[in-house]
Amino acid sequence: MNTESRAAAVIEANHLDLTFQTNDGPVHALKDVNLAINKGDFVSFIGPSGCGKTTFLRCIAALETPTGGSLTVNGMTPDEARRNRAYGYVFQAAGLYPWRTISKNIKLPLEIMGFSASEQEERVNKVLELVDLEGFGGKFPWQLSGGMQQRASIARALAFDADILLMDEPFGALDEIVRDHLNEQLLALWARTEKTIGFVTHSIPEAVYLSTKIVVMSPRPGRITDVIDSPLPKDRPLDIRDTPEFIEVAHRVRDGLRAGHSYDD
Amino acid sequence: MKQVIAVLTVLAAIVGLWYAACVPMNIKGVLTEQERAGAQVQPPSAKDRRDLGEFGLIAGNSFAIPATWEQARPRLPAPHQVAVEMWKTTVQKKITSKRSLIYHAWVTLSATMLGFVIGTGLGILLAVGIVHSRVMDLSVMPWAIVSQTIPIIALAPMIIVVLYSVGIQGILPKAVISAYLSFFPVVVGMVKGLRSPDAMQLDLLRTYSANGSQRFWKLRLPASMPYLFTSLKIGIAASLVGAIVGELPTGAVAGLGARLLAGSYYGQTVQIWSALFAAALLAACLVGLLGVIERSVLKRMGMAQ
């Protein structure tokens, strides 16, 4: 394994391919994807729908199986990494169980992984505090707003202390104001926990605001067209979005998207 | 208040229609009785009366209309006759009496409940199997559907005869027929309920490396609860029908079905109607009770808002 030479890479893809066999013939969801994500990175995947950004995230989570190339997570196969609780996954919808309170929802992975009752309690309190939901543990999901529900689902993904947080358009269904607020909170959370975060989005400002590394992807076949290391400082107030540096990065992302996107169909 | 008035209006309309229907239904019988008692009826000859329509008879003998609501053995008993019969056979009889409707209802209810428990248990087991095994999905589901296309009235005597020949009689054959009718809605509802979690919720459990039994107990089963209760309400009504039908072909001496049968043997229409109302009342109570349980369970689960 060549992970020794690049010890800092927690997620590494080499010539990754994924082809779905459909009734209309093979679909190249991912083609020759090469990427290394280092520990503590905040990586955004951006691109139009069908570019394979979600598929790539699902490959990392071992929810899809690549048909070619190699992919390692913490130096293991994605399957082994999952069994070693390498990552927490946040979906586009909060997906909280309506029959469980917020606390019980956060306990779900802990129950499955066999944590003791007292440790479950302790961890729930810790992550509720991390996402600013203290005091809401006893509520049922329908009693919370959409933004709060999504925060609860992030808490659920953080509960078992995985080093990697994979987020698939987690704020896609929320309105702009709530989204800004959650983005700010997510950055604060990232600074506190020093997790490695993979974040799928199709919002350019969101990608630029959050990331240390922006991966621009394009469809048919799904591939990486540009990887941008953000020059922005780690400490980012919301109004950093008006600075020339921010606008320049956003511009480069937009160029990358335009270059990769064919409008001739 | 407005709703109460609306409900009462509908009820009054039904009762009114019922009284009105009694007149043409019973007029012929009434006139025959009246003639025997020496009254003048139009037309006097029984043959002419037979050829004349009911409404012609009513027009010619309006004096006889009140009597159509008071016959001992009417074709269609009036509401108050049924009510009086029900009052007499429930409140005014000891529960142990063979003439007590409560006694007969209890006989039917016990078979209903046993059948319902068997049917529900079987239905849930089949649904679990169908959801987890493609082979069962393909092999059991079609038979479950076919089983419900056979008229139960044709099947019930066979079930009773076959079970009798192996020495089983009493409450169990009736319960088997009940179960036969009630398992189906439970299978259909539970299959739908157990499959109701979407791909995202299943993926979420995969990210935790959850195993099959965790997936079942923590996701599929709780998600199916609202579907289960809907099925149970249909199932218990079907169960009651099954128990009553099970009492018909054997010439049973006890149970609401037996009351229906005895009533039709002896032309006791009032008895038939009161047994029918008892059955309807029983079904309403059972479904209502399930509704109360449903609300409290779903509320405790946090699924009723």
Q: What are phi and psi of A73, to 5 degrees?
A: -125, 120
Contact of A95 with chain B, judged by CB distance below 8 Å, is answered with yes
- Contact assignment for B208 to A109 by CB distance below 8 Å: yes
**Which residues of chain B are in CATH 1.10.3720.10 domains?**
101-301
- Contact assignment for B219 to A97 by CB distance below 8 Å: yes
Name the packing angle between helices B152-165 and B221-247 (round to 10°). Answer: 80
Q: Distance (Å, rounded) from C-alpha A252 to C-alpha A258?
A: 10
CA B1 to chain centre: 30
Contact of A240 with chain B, judged by CB distance below 8 Å, is answered with no
Give the residue ranges of chain B where pLDDT is below 50: none
Instruction: Tell me the nearest-neighbour CA distance from A38 into chain B, angstroms.
Output: 21
Q: What is the per-residue pLDDT for A139?
A: 92
Across chain B, which distance is largest between two alpha carbons, in Å? 91
- Contact assignment for A99 to B218 by CB distance below 8 Å: no
Q: Distance (Å, rounded) from C-alpha B79 to C-alpha B115?
A: 32
Rama region for A169: left / alpha / beta (φ>0; ψ in -120 to 50; rest): left
| Strand order from edge to edge, sheet including A25-38 | A25-38, A9-22, A68-73
Q: What is the per-residue pLDDT for A43?
A: 94
Which residues of chain A does B207 touch, with a Cβ-Cβ cutoff of 8 Å?
61, 63, 82, 87-89
* Residue B127, burial from CB neighbour count under 10 angstroms (0-12, 13-18, 19+): buried
Q: Where are the beta strands (DSSP E) in chain A?
A: 9-22, 25-38, 42-46, 68-73, 87-90, 164-168, 196-201, 213-218, 223-229
- Contact assignment for B301 to A95 by CB distance below 8 Å: no
Pairing assessment for the beta strands A213-218 and A42-46 based on DSSP bridges: parallel
* Chain B residue with minimum CA distance to A142: B305
Q: What is the per-residue pLDDT for B251?
A: 65
Q: What is the per-residue pLDDT for A2?
A: 45
Whether the predicted pLDDT of A5 surpasses 70 = no
Q: What is the per-residue pLDDT for B54?
A: 85
- pLDDT one-digit tens code per residue, A121-168: 999 999 998 888 889 999 999 999 988 999 999 999 989 888 899 999
* Chain B residue with minimum CA distance to A160: B208
- Contact assignment for B209 to A82 by CB distance below 8 Å: yes
Instruction: Tell me the nearest-neighbour CA distance from B137 into chain A, angstroms.
Output: 24
* Chain A residue with minimum CA distance to B219: A97
List beta partners, residue A201.
A46
Q: What is the per-residue pLDDT for B266?
A: 87
Q: What is the per-residue pLDDT for B184?
A: 94
ipTM associated with this complex: 0.86
Q: What is the per-residue pLDDT for A220?
A: 80
Q: Which of B209, B214, B305 sits opposite A83 (nearest CB)?
A: B209
Instruction: Tell me the nearest-neighbour CA distance from A158 into chain B, angstroms.
Output: 12
- Contact assignment for B218 to A108 by CB distance below 8 Å: yes
Stretch A53-64: mean pLDDT, rounded? 91
Stretch A7-11: mean pLDDT, rounded? 75
- Contact assignment for B208 to A101 by CB distance below 8 Å: no
More reliable by pLDDT, B283 or A232: B283
Whether the predicted pLDDT of A264 surpasses 80 = no
* Chain A residue with minimum CA distance to B213: A112
Stretch A18-38: mean pLDDT, rounded? 87
Instruction: Tell me the nearest-neighbour CA distance from B290 into chain A, angstroms.
Output: 20
Q: What is the per-residue pLDDT for A110?
A: 94
Q: Distance (Å, rounded) from C-alpha B270 to C-alpha B81?
A: 7
Contact of B197 with chain A, judged by CB distance below 8 Å, is answered with no
- pLDDT one-digit tens code per residue, A169-184: 988 878 888 888 888 8
Q: What is the per-residue pLDDT for B181?
A: 92
Which residues of chain A does B223 touch, with a Cβ-Cβ cutoff of 8 Å?
97, 99
Tokens encoding B11: 């009820």
Which residues of chain A does B197 touch, with a Cβ-Cβ cutoff of 8 Å?
none
| Domains detected in chain A | 1-86+163-265 (3.40.50.300), 93-161 (no CATH)
- Contact assignment for B207 to A98 by CB distance below 8 Å: no
Question: Topology of domain B101-301, per CATH?
Answer: MetI-like fold (1.10.3720)
Which residues fall within 8 angstroms of residue B9, CB to CB, at 6 or more apart?
A: none
Tokens encoding B60: 């010619």
Cβ atoms < 10 Å from Cβ of A37: 23
* Chain B residue with minimum CA distance to A59: B207
Contact of B210 with chain A, judged by CB distance below 8 Å, is answered with yes
| Strand order from edge to edge, sheet including A196-201 | A87-90, A164-168, A196-201, A42-46, A213-218, A223-229
Average pLDDT in chain A: 87
